[in-house]
Amino acid sequence: MKFLNGLMAFALMAAAWTVQAQDADKSQFSGFLGDYSQLQPVKDREGVLAYVNQTHDYSVYKKIRFTPVEVFLTPNPDYKGMQPDVLKQMSDGFLNSFISAFGSDYQLVKENGPDVLTIRMAITGVQLTRPAMGVTDFIPIKALYNLGRKAAGDAPMVAEMSGEVEMLDPQGKRVLAAVATRKGEKTLKQDEQITWSELQAITDYWAKNMKQRVDQLRDAGR
């Protein structure tokens, strides 16, 4: 199952799951999904927990409905400010990756219906940092993962993003859910400011894998 390698995680794969989710570190959960008891680690996918209802008929879905992307901050962040334009840039950028991935093969709708699969998504674990004065092109968040042993100096860093996703049938019942974290590919310097392009590479990856997974589930039911 491919989705949210490393969201939201966000890979969705029908691989064997061996460790129960209740044994996982609960601190990684934002509360967006509510119930995390169904999630289990995906084999060979570090940092990915997922659930798929394998008995559900996915072949009926011809339309996709996305709900607005939510953003969850880490508890008690050092900096508590969040400018509305920053929040919008993050949520819109996340959603646009999925709209681009699904738009060619599925009809994107705003209302629920008998052939509509609803997808809820959230960016989680966001750590805010004080933005530089007069700078508008950067995302004021601490989204860095240290690639070296030192937390200072010239140790290389990469952007890191976490997310959660849930798919609902027309009756609002969960048929798929996942939690994951993924690191970007671009190496950054210590304390380098982050643009959305570093994070979009992650959301584009999630969107591509999520679309492939939905395709697989639909094909399996035909």
Q: Which of 64, 43, 50, 60 is nearest to 4 (CA)?
A: 50
How many CA atoms within 13 Å lie on the side-chain side of 74?
15
Mean pLDDT on 42-56: 86
pLDDT(46) > 90: no
Element (H, E) at 66: strand 63-66
Distance CA 56, CA 221 (A): 8
Backbone angles phi, psi at 67, to 5 degrees: -90, 160
* 160: confidence class by pLDDT, cuts 50, 70, 90: confident
pLDDT at 6: 35
Q: Using pLDDT thresholds of 50, 70 and 90, give the confidence band for residue 153.
A: low
This prediction has a pTM of 0.79
DSSP 38: T
Mean pLDDT of 28-47: 86
What is the mean pLDDT of the segment spanning 154-174? 89
Contacts made by residues 99-103, CB under 8 angstroms, sequence distance 24+: 99/66, 100/204, 100/207, 101/204, 101/207, 101/208, 101/210, 101/211, 102/64, 102/207, 102/211, 102/214
Q: How far apart are CA 201 and CA 183, in angstroms?
A: 9
**What is the tens place of the pLDDT at every residue in 62-101?**
999 999 999 887 766 666 666 777 788 889 999 999 999 9
Model pLDDT, residue 191 = 67
Q: Residue 204 pLDDT > 90, yes or no?
A: yes
Specify the pLDDT at position 152. 54
pLDDT band at 192 (very low <50, low <70, confident <90, very high): confident
